Structure 1
Amino acid sequence: MGKEQLGVLNALDAAKTQWYHFTAIVIAGMGFFTDAYDLFSISLVTKLLGRIYYYTEGQKSPGTLPISVNAAVNGVALCGTLAGQLFFGWLGDKLGRKSVYGVTLILMLVCSTASGLSFGRHAGGVMATLCFFRFWLGFGIGGDYPLSATIMSEYANKRTRGAFIAAVFAMQGFGILAGGVVSLFVSGLFNKWYPAPAFQQNGIITGSRSTVPQADYVWRIILMFGALPASLTYYWRMKMPETARYTALVAKNAKQAATDMARVLHVDIEPEEDKVTRIVDDRANSFGLFSGEFVQRHGLHLLGTTTCWFLVDVAYYSQNLSQKDIFTNVGWLPSASKMNAIYEVYKIARAQTIIALCGTIPGYWFTVALIDKMGRFKIQLMGFSCMTICMFALAIPYNHWKDHSHTGFVIIYALTFFFANFGPNATTFVVPAEIFPARLRSTCHGLSAATGKAGAIVGAFGILYASQSPDKSQNGGYPAGIGMKNTLIVLGCVNALGIFFTFFVPEAKGKSLEEITGEDETENGDVEMPQAHPSRANYL
């Protein structure tokens, strides 16, 4: 089989790291900053929502969200994200990456603002409108996953492509950190300006709800802040040219691809229209997503990317969205009866900020620094393995951590975030943007990401129920679950499964996208299938 590569794509693969690479990282990365802020900031304010809207006068304990409402508020954005990943992933291959890139940002901007303006005559009405706006917020966030990953992979050179895609995703860490910092700042100010009377009596609630009316502004301001970073990057996102790989290999416009990249790279590039026609129209490069040819070439790869992303998100999102409950269970946070409502937001935000600084952010940037040296396969395998060990280390002596060593629990808990991000949480985002053909790249990334969000929904809903105490009398009316200890054991088993499915994913380090997918091949012989990681045969 002959190999034929376009000059414009060769120029991109061989380009030195320059200013446009960093510009693309910031433009795409600010979308992920916003994504993480919007998705995870809700976990900081759910307890406050319960105190404000589900407290009745004379109640001895602070109000709490009913578990069905809690699950909906936490999980509805994930449902929207799943739908957005499928829809915008498909649309990105049909209309082009840039054509729909601004739509996702507008959705995030409008729905972040609207979430903070949620309204209703009673608690149910407020929660319903909040869930409505957060679904469409998630829909916009979902579109950012396949589009940002695909755009970055198609802009990057082959030597540092992994680091550039991972750097875009690493902006999630700063988004999570920003959620904690903004919540600390807002709750700190409101707690100073509007102290609750009951809290001034040693912080003990004595029959009053210990929630001042101004607390209703706190959660609204925190959620609305997510609109700011989205608005700052819209102009620059619209200024980006379409990627050359889409323009040449999908839209078949060699002249436009050469013109766009010549302006970006500051070099002269020959359009090569005849070569584009030969490559794109060749039978070996024209199979569809549901064809036998796709299954033969990429079926195992898609199984690997979807399953690994599903498994890591079950663990990752359940930890992120329920960490406030975990910290309360092990005694790192005081019980709600010992804090006023706004101060509780402050304490939860402080815990999330510490975890983000010590575990989440370092993990992301270790991946950025090492992914093009170690490779995707090794990092993902190591991450799943270490997460498994950490989960069992938390679960087996759970009662010891709970009763005797809160600090030890938090350290190991932070390590699970570190190895998630220096591991499968980052690599599952990177790999689907590299190993599928240009005409299917955004769609396959969207499918992989959507399967991951299905795992996140399992984590947000299923783990929330499962982590409840087996004794219903201890759950405040919540359904009985298997308890936190057994839930952590389940999550350890989930991560162990991820080790197995990692062997279905090929290594893309140091190769051009066309070399990985076979798009530089013309039909002169048998199809040369891209292989899964060579070690897979030794384990299956």
Structure 2
Amino acid sequence: MATNNLAVLQALDTARTQWYHMKAIVIAGMGFFTDAYDLFCITTVSKLLGRLYYYDPATGSPGKLPHSVNNLVTGVALFGTLSGQLVFGWLGDKLGRKKVYGITLILMVVCAIGSGLSFGSTPGSVIGTLCFFRFWLGFGIGGDYPLSATIMSEYANKKTRGAFIAAVFAMQGVGIIFAGLVSMVLSDIFRKKYPAKSFQEEPIFSTQPQADYLWRIVLMFGALPALLTYYWRMKMPETGRYTALIEGNAKQAAADMGRVLEIELEAETDKISQFKTANQYSILSEEFYIRHGRHLIGTMTTWFLLDIAFYSQNLTQKDIYPAMGLTKKDYQVNAIEEVFETSRAMFVVALLGTFPGYWFTVLFIEKIGRFIIQLVGFLMMSIFMLILGVKYDYLRDHNSLLFVILYGLTFFFANFGPNSTTFVLPAELFPTRVRSTCHALSAASGKAGAVIGAFVVQTYTLDGDVHKIKIAIMILAFTNLLGFCFTFLVPETKGLSLEEISGEDGGGGLSETPMPSARRSVTMQGSGRLEAI
């Protein structure tokens, strides 16, 4: 009994693109908008924290966060995200996508506000409170990865599923742009209202006291989109696939999806019961390993390798921004002006380099396919990073335009490439019963790579030694090449239903090993015969 005989799944797979698809993209996408804003807005104000809390007039230079403190402030959310991905991904399969979907938003709202209200009588206590809330903010953000991807994949039809999932992820690019835009607008308001002399002219006034409000407002702004999305997220019904195939509630699945699709659906209780019986294997079972072990290794390794490079790309930002004429040296500007220039640089780079790649993926993923986009993306990133690594000092000092172009292209092909497809593929390859968990494992592997990129690689190049930077960038080119090779572990999924991909329909799916014969049949109660599932 193939699952394409189940009316609720057939209706979802063949539904024309309609309003509920767009609504689902916006609701899930706003979560990712918030995620990106909250993760990246700290970059625009981290230098301001150093000027406010670590300024020492005796040094004769602007205040600066100690390297270990800077790593903690900017990176603690990554540890929270990794943890949240694993916990909420598992809960998404055990309790249902919808039941834990709202918890992530509540956590993000509370912790974004808490980050802005960070308190303490000493610099250490303020930073400690900030890091506490940033960790739990990341924990909520982590939950959004597997839940948003899984919900969108289970709502979408099979012809546009990849584009819809990629569109949800593309809201990350919009969030990064807004992180730069909001910080830029607010800092511009503050610098006009509270002007200050440059650090060289009057060191004691290089940091306006009112700047303490600026970073707090920037961080708390991240609570707004999450708060606005909460009501609509709670109004979404549980996905039909989870209700029918995991909970076994055929009537509720038919009612929910019939209302969403605006059609009449039959509640096929017997067929769904047979389906559940045939797909009981867990993620730790031999059957999962035979059917999907290779795929899970592929999604985890490629996401891990990508994020090492993706989160290490800050290595060259200190040279890129001046080359584009977007920033000055810290001693040439006061604290609020430095926030303005950093935010403007982030906004421009995201708008011109990061943002287009996401939407190229949305436009072409159903034409080109996930596999080719990921292969080409990894390959082009490797080529451009190799050129940057070999010719780093020459490009920086003698050809800043080419330097900027190559840097922008690495971002473009990351997003029109593995940064998008590593998010899409784990939401399609695995069975309904463990889909959220498998996506969480893949995403958490990515964040482990991000931690290596943000802490290990960037710490290695901390002293700014050109030789070390060149070696680091060439190593990143090699990690991208490894990502290219590991991509061959994942198959193409375009145009197929989720059940055809995973083999839940009783076929072999996209695994090379067919389903064991014992699993291909079940005893039909009261019939005294076997029917193929």
Provide TM-score, normalisation by structure 2: 0.93
Alignment partners' CA distance in 2, 1:268 and 1:470: 65
1:325 offset after TM fit, Å?
Answer: 3.2
Gaps of 5+ in 2: 513-533
Task: State the partner residue of 1:299.
Answer: 293
Task: State the partner residue of 1:450.
Answer: 444
Tell me the C-alpha RMSD between the 2 structures. Answer: 1.8
Task: State the partner residue of 1:69.
Answer: 69
In structure 2, the residue corresponding to 1:159 is in which secondary structure?
coil
In structure 2, the residue corresponding to 1:52 is in which secondary structure?
helix
Alignment partners' CA distance in 2, 1:261 and 1:78: 36
- Asked if 1:469 corresponds to 2:444, the answer is no
1:341 offset after TM fit, Å?
Answer: 1.0
1:324 offset after TM fit, Å?
Answer: 4.7
- Asked if 1:427 corresponds to 2:421, the answer is yes
Alignment partners' CA distance in 2, 1:470 and 1:197: 29
- Asked if structure 2 preserves the Cα contact closer than 8 Å seen for 1:205 and 1:339, the reply is no
Moved more, 391-400 or 84-93: 391-400
Alignment partners' CA distance in 2, 1:449 and 1:193: 43
AA partner of residue 22 (structure 1): M
Task: State the partner residue of 1:135.
Answer: 135
AA partner of residue 219 (structure 1): W
- Asked if structure 1 preserves the Cα contact closer than 8 Å seen for 2:79 and 2:451, the reply is yes
Alignment partners' CA distance in 2, 1:452 and 1:328: 27
Alignment partners' CA distance in 2, 1:58 and 1:529: 68
Alignment partners' CA distance in 1, 2:41 and 2:368: 33
Alignment partners' CA distance in 2, 1:8 and 1:213: 60
Alignment partners' CA distance in 2, 1:323 and 1:41: 19
Indicate the percent of aligned positions where both proteins have the same amino acid. 61
Task: State the partner residue of 1:154.
Answer: 154
Task: State the partner residue of 1:311.
Answer: 305
Equivalent residue for 2:469, pick from 484, 489, 506? 484
AA partner of residue 278 (structure 1): Q
Task: State the partner residue of 1:214.
Answer: 210
Equivalent residue for 1:414, pick from 404, 408, 419? 408
Equivalent residue for 2:488, pick from 503, 510, 522? 503
AA partner of residue 217 (structure 1): Y
Which aligned pairs between 1:212-291 and structure 2 lie closer than 5 A? Answer: 212-282=208-278, 285-291=279-285
Task: State the partner residue of 1:524.
Answer: none
Alignment partners' CA distance in 2, 1:39 and 1:374: 31
Moved more, 310-319 or 451-460: 310-319
Instruction: Evaluate the alpha carbon distance shift between residue 341 and residue 406 of structure 1 in structure 2; reply closer, same or farther with a 3 A threshold.
Output: farther
Write the deviation string for residues 228-274 of structure 1: whole angstroms up to 9, x where unpaired. Answer: 10011100000000000000110011110000000000111111100
Write the deviation string for residues 315-339 of structure 1: whole angstroms up to 9, x where unpaired. Answer: 112225x565343686853221111
- Asked if 1:352 corresponds to 2:357, the answer is no
1:467 offset after TM fit, Å?
Answer: 1.9
1:290 offset after TM fit, Å?
Answer: 0.7
Which aligned pairs between 1:374-385 and structure 2 lie closer than 5 A? Answer: 374-385=368-379
AA partner of residue 318 (structure 2): D
1:207 offset after TM fit, Å?
Answer: 4.1
- Asked if structure 2 preserves the Cα contact closer than 8 Å seen for 1:38 and 1:223, the reply is yes
- Asked if 1:512 corresponds to 2:506, the answer is no
Moved more, 343-352 or 440-449: 343-352
AA partner of residue 504 (structure 2): E
Alignment partners' CA distance in 1, 2:340 and 2:196: 14
Q: What is the number of equivalent residue pairs in this alignment?
A: 512
Task: State the partner residue of 2:318.
Answer: 325
1:2 offset after TM fit, Å?
Answer: 6.0
Gaps of 5+ in 1: 472-480, 522-526, 533-540
In structure 2, the residue corresponding to 1:208 is in which secondary structure?
helix
Task: State the partner residue of 2:517.
Answer: none
AA partner of residue 487 (structure 1): A
Alignment partners' CA distance in 2, 1:246 and 1:430: 19
- Asked if 1:57 corresponds to 2:61, the answer is no
Task: State the partner residue of 2:5.
Answer: 5
Equivalent residue for 1:339, pick from 305, 313, 333? 333
Task: State the partner residue of 2:100.
Answer: 100
